[in-house]
Chain A
């Protein structure tokens, strides 16, 4: 092996390096040139396209002439897609019409049959942006694609297109047992508005138990008051999961007239249902439910008690009283929860304020504060004992806290 060979090797490597450098620079130059070119084309058609979008009528050709192929067309498509996120209503529909007329929709639909999974996924994505109803069938087929990415994109695209036709294949997917895709599909359906709700209610009986649960989740997220009656009925379903989800969904919809059904659900034999019912009642703020929630505070499952406590903290006087009664509970956690709830809703502060004085209210306040001190969570009271504006309140608090410390000693 001679040194010559080595020298040649070195020169070759050096040449490769130089080439690499040149490659990097050339790539950048090409890309920049292309971007500049596209930018130019875009500037040419932009005014016309924007006028088209803002107009109430008139086809695309009236405002701008877009050749059937080439960079102007590419720029036009890019511009239309960029505005897709910005607009809704008439202008948005005009975007879809324009994309159909330029042939972008047809082109992408053809790509849906490409052999490359990435191309198919990309096509599905773009069809979602285009929101053309004509693509619904093709996209529904892609939901059975072998590549999971393509499936997901197709489903999402249907979610963006919306409308009854797009909802159906998604609901069919809900009936698909795989738990993960059920969540995904539900996620998409929950953005699709009224038609989704109607179709879901229609197909409910045919769904699997998991599908039913997902369906109720979606209805809860859609928050349409007209679905409350249907969901309320589900509180009597034989599947406890379904009942629990129905209760949760009612909480999200927030229709106060459902309080009665939820109060009954608080007596359900299964604890997840009771827990969800308590949570939902917390969202409803219906004063008539205070009684049942107070009952819920004595439930044997702590989650139910916890949700009931939280619900009560938002229920005004009745709720507050129920929480104060809870301070006497033998259950450690229940007492802690009660104090936490009272603190969070500012009730503790209110009672502390009333401490100065000699009337009945003050006596009551002293009793309540005393109980809180006994529970042991005194940080807030400590703070108030030091920082409250009224010296007599501070003194009263210090007194109560001191007694407790002495009592423990």
Chain B
């Protein structure tokens, strides 16, 4: 008797849960659909509104704002020279390159001094943001727009803050040693600033996956899809996430995730909010959320937008382990930022960001993976318990999988009508195939990763809390395997 009661309870629970899962997927995919429609409109307008003479005009105009390019470097002796050289050749009018040597223990500094004829100078600058001590500032005799800052180790955020202090131009961006920028990258991301200089506070540029592309002298010379399946999945995922997701959010004025991408920020506002933060794993995400909060609190009209035209190429992880670490870090960073800014949740003071975007991230990005994973488990259980309803299964299949396929294909369509970076038939067919396959395992796997990240996040928060209570002054990033793996740059080393 008792047993049947419990089984009955379990069954009803599962049935109820199944319905809940259906509702979840329906809601999630509908939001994606909404975002896609918004993105479609945005990309369409963007492509039409961009006249081919625009970029040359921006480059030659004296009105174009100069940019300070910050390159935080920690033990990058193998690649730092290449990075700096390829930056020196970018297509842009006025800019300066500031390399921040964050307490490297290898020969990075010496290589720089030798290669560019650096001399120590006494640069007068304002320490607007507190950072670890700066040992010296170097300038190059041969290249007047190159500076190198030697400082004590403080972590990437600290290095960036130092760079911000020293930078003299109104805009700055951070470039990792691992990213490969397109020739016109800066022209593209500065365009929104030129169009609306008072309002624009930050601009994000899209990131594409470089695996499979031919790279020569720090430039992508031929674009192709990766040869291996894992990076190819990521290509489709990025297309979906960037083209349909972020462009959409950008149009809704709630763009939050510039990280994993390329961002150009206005120096003044970033200094106002105190620069980059030390306590998170994804410092750009945190920065952008704080920017949003700051600007909304000050009630100043502003915009943070996204440029859909590709700007930056990066190496994607090729093994599951590395991929997991990367996603782990990203998700943890998201959770940390969400938690810190929980007061924005559902708060009408923060406009669409507070009312829609934040709840979205909370429900679908944070809790969502649990629901998804639990949903699959529930299906399995239902089948085991013999209560699996074919109707339900079909519905589930539709909403969880087919709808996803639709969105993946939609993203590819968007890419085809706009940027067409993958011109060959072979690549297109491959993309379509992976777009479909993506929903039969890859996306589910990512959700599992996210669940794990959540547990990690909870565990670390407890640890963080202890450290804070003990009055720990933490300047550098905690030495977790993930951080070491990714180096300072956040990119993945082979």
Against B, the Cβ 8 Å flags (1 = close, 0 = not) of A359-399 are 00000000000000000010110110000000000000000
Q: How far is the CA of A125 from the CA of B57 in the complex (A)?
A: 12
Find out whether the CB atom of B402 lies under 8 angstroms from the CB atom of A184.
no
Q: How far is the CA of A187 from the CA of B93 in the complex (A)?
A: 15
Closest to B123 in A: A340
Residues of B within 8 A of A9 (CB): 398
Q: Does A87 count as interface, using CB distance less than 8 angstroms?
A: no
Q: Does A7 count as interface, using CB distance less than 8 angstroms?
A: yes
Q: Does A34 count as interface, using CB distance less than 8 angstroms?
A: no
Residues of A within 8 A of B410 (CB): 20
Q: How far is the CB of A369 from chain B (nearest CB, A)?
A: 15
Q: Which of A1-55 contact B (CB under 8 A)?
A: 1, 3, 6-7, 9-10, 13-14, 16-17, 20-21, 23-25, 27-28
Residues of A within 8 A of B121 (CB): 340, 343, 379-380
Q: Does A234 count as interface, using CB distance less than 8 angstroms?
A: no
**A28, A121, A339: residue with the most chain B Cβ atoms closer than 10 Å:** A28
Residues of B within 8 A of A180 (CB): 197
Supposing A6-B391, A28-B428, A343-B121 touch, asked if A187 and B62 sit within 8 A by C-beta, the answer is yes
Residues of B within 8 A of A7 (CB): 394
Residues of A within 8 A of B398 (CB): 6, 9-10, 13
Q: Does A279 count as interface, using CB distance less than 8 angstroms?
A: no
Q: Does B425 count as interface, using CB distance less than 8 angstroms?
A: yes
Residues of A within 8 A of B395 (CB): 6
Q: Does A149 count as interface, using CB distance less than 8 angstroms?
A: yes
Find out whether the CB atom of A339 lies under 8 angstroms from the CB atom of B122.
yes
Q: How far is the CB of B113 from chain A (nearest CB, A)?
A: 11
Q: Does A263 count as interface, using CB distance less than 8 angstroms?
A: no
Supposing A3-B394, A25-B428, A125-B51 touch, asked if A14 and B402 sit within 8 A by C-beta, the answer is yes
Closest to B394 in A: A6
Contact check: which of B48, B49, B409 meets A21 at CB < 8 Å?
B409
Q: How far is the CB of A112 from chain B (nearest CB, A)?
A: 15
Q: Does A245 count as interface, using CB distance less than 8 angstroms?
A: no
Residues of B within 8 A of A25 (CB): 428, 432
Find out whether the CB atom of B409 lies under 8 angstroms from the CB atom of A379.
no
Find out whether the CB atom of A118 lies under 8 angstroms from the CB atom of B394.
no
- Classify the interface of chain B: helix, strand, loop or mixed: helix
Closest to B410 in A: A20
Residues of A within 8 A of B436 (CB): 17
Against B, the Cβ 8 Å flags (1 = close, 0 = not) of A312-346 are 00000000000000000000000010011001000
Against B, the Cβ 8 Å flags (1 = close, 0 = not) of A156-176 are 100000000000000000000
Q: Which of B373-399 contact A (CB under 8 A)?
A: 390-391, 394-395, 397-398
Q: How far is the CB of B84 from chain A (nearest CB, A)?
A: 22
How many B residues have CB within 8 A of the partner chain? 36
Binds A, one of B34-42, B303-311, B361-369, B411-419: B411-419
Closest to A376 in B: B122
Q: Does B320 count as interface, using CB distance less than 8 angstroms?
A: no
Q: How far is the CA of A17 from the CA of B436 in the complex (A)?
A: 10
Q: Does B405 count as interface, using CB distance less than 8 angstroms?
A: yes
Q: Does A307 count as interface, using CB distance less than 8 angstroms?
A: no
Residues of B within 8 A of A285 (CB): none
Find out whether the CB atom of A17 lies under 8 angstroms from the CB atom of B409.
yes
Q: Does B124 count as interface, using CB distance less than 8 angstroms?
A: yes
Find out whether the CB atom of B53 lies under 8 angstroms from the CB atom of A125.
yes
Q: Does A183 count as interface, using CB distance less than 8 angstroms?
A: yes
Residues of A within 8 A of B120 (CB): 379-380, 382-383
How many A residues have CB within 8 A of the partner chain? 42
Find out whether the CB atom of A187 lies under 8 angstroms from the CB atom of B406.
no
Residues of A within 8 A of B412 (CB): 24
Find out whether the CB atom of B406 lies under 8 angstroms from the CB atom of A20.
yes
Closest to B391 in A: A3
Q: Does A190 count as interface, using CB distance less than 8 angstroms?
A: yes
Residues of B within 8 A of A10 (CB): 394, 397-398, 402
Q: How far is the CB of B334 from chain A (nearest CB, A)?
A: 30
Residues of B within 8 A of A83 (CB): none
Find out whether the CB atom of A28 lies under 8 angstroms from the CB atom of B122.
no
Supposing A24-B413, A25-B428 touch, asked if A17 and B406 sit within 8 A by C-beta, the answer is yes
Q: How far is the CB of A333 from chain B (nearest CB, A)?
A: 8
Q: How far is the CB of A29 from chain B (nearest CB, A)?
A: 9
Closest to B144 in A: A344
Residues of B within 8 A of A187 (CB): 61-63
Q: How far is the CA of A383 from the CA of B119 in the complex (A)?
A: 9
Q: Which of A174-231 contact B (CB under 8 A)?
A: 180, 183-184, 187, 190-191, 221
Contact check: which of B60, B197, B402 meets A13 at CB < 8 Å?
B402
Residues of A within 8 A of B402 (CB): 10, 13-14, 17
Find out whether the CB atom of A153 lies under 8 angstroms from the CB atom of B51.
yes
Q: How far is the CA of A9 from the CA of B413 in the complex (A)?
A: 23
Q: Does B136 count as interface, using CB distance less than 8 angstroms?
A: yes
Residues of A within 8 A of B397 (CB): 10
Q: How far is the CA of A20 from the CA of B36 in the complex (A)?
A: 15
Residues of A within 8 A of B409 (CB): 17, 20-21, 24
Q: How far is the CA of A180 from the CA of B193 in the complex (A)?
A: 13
**B390, B394, B412: residue with the most chain A Cβ atoms closer than 10 Å:** B394
Q: Which of A117-144 contact B (CB under 8 A)?
A: 118, 121-122, 125, 128-129
* Sample (8) of A-B pairs whose CB atoms are under 8 Å apart: A10-B394, A17-B405, A20-B409, A21-B432, A25-B428, A27-B416, A340-B122, A382-B120
Report B's interface with A, CB cutoff 8 A.
48-49, 51, 53, 57, 60-63, 119-122, 124, 136, 197, 390-391, 394-395, 397-398, 402-403, 405-406, 409-410, 412-413, 416-417, 425, 428, 432, 436
Report A's interface with B, CB cutoff 8 A.
1, 3, 6-7, 9-10, 13-14, 16-17, 20-21, 23-25, 27-28, 118, 121-122, 125, 128-129, 149, 153, 156, 180, 183-184, 187, 190-191, 221, 336, 339-340, 343, 377, 379-380, 382-383
Rank and list the top 9 A-B pairs by shortest CB-CB distance, nearest first. Answer: A377-B122, A379-B120, A6-B394, A20-B409, A3-B391, A13-B402, A187-B63, A125-B51, A24-B413
Sample of 5 more A-B contacts, CB < 8 Å, known A21-B409, A21-B432: A6-B394, A13-B406, A27-B416, A156-B53, A343-B121
